[in-house]
């Protein structure tokens, strides 16, 4: 930030101080150059702008515990944060991945299935993804580059692929299939070493309303993920529960996996994908629990309680990129695209 920008920002702060002398105001607006958002979102934005978080933050929308946050020059021109459901995401109504467990109805309501039309005319669900807003799916770029397969539909609200209705003690809502309007891979995606393995899919129509069975996951704004944390994550998908089986699981599976430091993980990967970079994460399960073929594009999830939000929410910290052959090999952790490294890319590629 040069001197001119600093003086301008300081001027804005003083103007704002004059406007926010009463905390009883129900909805005090922010002056030009600032935007009303949660403290966590503001912190993430300032970090991405390579600025230090300021102690001079004033409340706006008082009842919602938000602050007026200085916008970076890029964000002043264009901000798509409002298109993401940052406070209504990551909520589950529920209080196999390799050697995993059956999920319950509504346990992972953001799970999406990518249906591709094969050259023989058949429709096959090849990859997974996650709903991140009412019109966008996050997935792996390599899921858009499968030979003799053209992405056609996105299925939401699925649990058991073998049943028309999903019923146990009660029945879940019917699945919803959406036509694909557009799909975009990261421009630097490399199909050979699977770097920048991330993509967005825009649904032809918006999800009309969120339910217990269809709801977006949170993206990790305001959460510091380096890959060196000692953490347990969850994964979910319809991929193979046994590498040698001909097809994936009919029922949505989930498993718990442990983070693996990047340096340790790198030394155990095949030469063609090394070196791993800071845009990737690694994790491995116990007793063969792992992501497998068919889980690609699905989420690596963490439960987080942000100080600015009332309840814990589930955040997507990674997405399934590639793993060992066979799946679940204890010597080779699976590799995930680190979502926090691509937040700006996501914001740049979503529109109203």
> Which residues are part of the catalytic machinery?
142, 197, 296
Q: Residue 178 in contact with residue 200, Cβ under 8 Å?
A: no
Q: Residue 150 in contact with residue 242, Cβ under 8 Å?
A: no
Residue 209 makes CB contacts below 8 A (sequence gap 6+) with none
The Cα-based distances of 172 to 35, 106, 154, 177 in angstroms read: 39, 8, 18, 15
Residue 330 makes CB contacts below 8 A (sequence gap 6+) with 284, 288
Structure tokens belonging to residue 114: 């990518």
Return the H-helix or E-strand segment holding 37.
Answer: strand 34-38
Write down the residue that tokens 């937040």 correspond to. 343
Rounded distance, CA 272 to CA 192, Å?
A: 7
How many Cβ atoms sit within 10 Å of the Cβ of residue 223? 17
């Amino acid at each position: 930030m040069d001197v001119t920008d600093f003086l301008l920002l300081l001027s804005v702060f003083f103007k704002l101080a004059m406007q926010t002398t009463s905390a009883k105001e129900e909805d005090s607006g922010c002056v030009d150059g600032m935007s009303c958002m949660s403290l966590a979102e503001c912190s993430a934005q300032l970090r991405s702008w390579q600025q230090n978080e300021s102690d001079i933050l004033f409340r706006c929308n008082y009842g919602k515990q938000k602050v007026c946050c200085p916008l970076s020059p890029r964000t002043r021109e264009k901000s798509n944060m409002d298109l993401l459901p940052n406070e209504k995401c990551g909520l589950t109504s529920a209080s196999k991945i390799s050697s995993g467990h059956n999920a319950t109805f509504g346990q992972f309501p953001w799970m999406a299935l990518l249906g591709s039309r094969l050259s023989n005319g058949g429709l096959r669900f090849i990859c997974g993804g996650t709903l991140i807003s009412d019109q966008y799916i996050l997935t792996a770029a390599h899921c858009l580059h499968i030979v003799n397969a053209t992405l056609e539909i996105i299925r939401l609200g699925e649990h058991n692929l073998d049943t028309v209705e999903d019923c146990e003690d009660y029945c879940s809502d019917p699945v919803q299939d959406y036509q694909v309007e557009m799909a975009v891979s990261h421009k630097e995606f490399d199909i050979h070493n699977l770097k920048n393995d991330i993509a967005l899919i825009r649904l032809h129509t918006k999800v009309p309303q969120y339910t217990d069975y269809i709801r977006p996951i949170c993206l990790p704004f305001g959460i510091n993920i380096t890959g060196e944390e000692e953490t347990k994550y969850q994964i979910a998908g319809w991929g193979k529960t046994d590498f040698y089986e001909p097809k994936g699981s009919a029922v949505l599976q989930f498993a718990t996996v442990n983070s693996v430091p990047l340096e340790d993980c790198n030394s155990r990967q095949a030469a063609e994908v090394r070196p791993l970079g800071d845009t990737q994460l690694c994790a491995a399960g116990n007793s063969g629990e792992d992501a497998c073929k068919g889980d690609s594009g699905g989420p690596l999830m963490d439960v987080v309680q942000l100080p600015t939000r009332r309840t814990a929410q589930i955040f997507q910290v990674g997405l399934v990129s590639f793993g060992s052959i066979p799946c679940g090999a204890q010597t080779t952790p699976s590799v995930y695209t680190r979502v926090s490294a691509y937040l700006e890319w996501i914001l740049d590629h979503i529109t109203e």
